[in-house]
Structures are given as structure tokens and as C-alpha cells.
Amino acid sequence: MTATPVALKIVPNPSLRKQIEELSGQKVAACFQCQKCTNGCPLTFAMDVPPHQLVRFLHLGLEDEVLRSRTIWVCASCQTCNTRCPNNIDIAHIMDTLRQMSRRKGIEPSLKNIPIFHTAFLSSIRRHGRVHEVEMAAEYTLRSGGLKALLKQVGLGMTMFAKGKIKLLPAKLRHKSEVKDIFRKTVEKR
């Protein structure tokens, strides 16, 4: 005689959905699970929870499952899901909101190198007003792999520099102060 599996009982809690709607400005409740976001996403093969199902988890209030998912870190914010959504839900923005919420709550990212890349990318923009590839790549490599990994990349970097593919010094930006203001305002909002 085989045991019948017990169905998981989930009592929907709308507070998470409302919080995400408030933080992201997106109407999560408008999703009717058509799955167009998932069907168009080029990265679902690497996700543990497909985008449409993640939105459903938000409807149900499954905060732990959402914030600890691999999906929020795998999302490349390519906007494919947004263009396919019949209700104009910016799912990429929701993913970004969930990443930020996860970081604020001190939840360890399921993929440790993605937040390191994100931090290196944003710090380069904060300093120069745009991404300086050499500095960003060096910071990312150093933080994710250490000095040994950075030294392994030097040869490739020199080859790219010799071919004119990268510049050692960042490009000048005329309105750098405006970019700095954006960062200042985001810090003030927290």
C-alpha cells in the first residue's frame, strides 16, 4: 500500500504582493498567469522558479521562497518579459525590487557572484558617471576570485588594450554631477 502525498496547504497573504506593488510601482495583482513572460525569457533554463510562477508566489505571499530563489539573481533584466506581458507589468523591475529587498533583509544571495558584479557595475557608474570597463572588471574579478584570479586576467586585458578594445582611463562625462545626484537621491530615499 502506497501513502498518498499530503497536499501543501497555503493560506494566501496579500501583504507581500502589496509591499512589492508599493516598492516597484507595478500592479502585480494584474497578472493572470498567461505565462508569456516565462515563454519568452531566455534564461528560464537557469531559474529555479519561472517568472510567471514567481509572480504567483508574490500573490500567495511566499516571501521566503521568492527572496531565496535563484530566479531573482539570474534575471538579466533584458525586458523580454515586459514586452510580452499583455498587462504591461514590468517584471524585470519587480525582480530588481526583490533583489534589493533580499539584500536589505540580509538574505545570502543564491548566486554570490551576481551581487558582486552588480556592486562593481554601480560603483563604476557612481565614480565616473558611466561604466569604466577596466575598473569594473578588475573590481569584480578581485572581489569574486581574489588576487590570483585578477593576475590571470591581466594578459587578456593587455591584449584587449593593444587591440583598442578597452581604454585604461575612463571617458569624460560632461554632466557627471547629474549622475551623482541620482545616486544621492536613491540613498536619501532609503
Do 126 and 183 meet the contact criterion of CB atoms below 8 Å apart? Answer: yes
Question: Would you tell me the crossing angle of helices 91-104 and 14-24 to the nearest 10 degrees?
Answer: 110
Q: What is the pLDDT of residues 63-83, one digit of tens each?
A: 999 999 999 999 999 999 999
Tell me yes or no: is domain 14-104 CATH 1.10.1060.10.
yes
Per mean pLDDT, which range of 4-8, 15-19, 124-128 is the poorest? 4-8
pLDDT digits (tens, 9 = 90+) for 80-89: 999 999 999 9
pTM for this prediction: 0.76
pLDDT exceeds 70 at position 1: no
The residue ranges of every structural domain in the chain are 14-104, 113-189
Q: List all residues 6 or more positions away from 187 whose beta carbon is below 8 Å from its beta carbon.
A: none
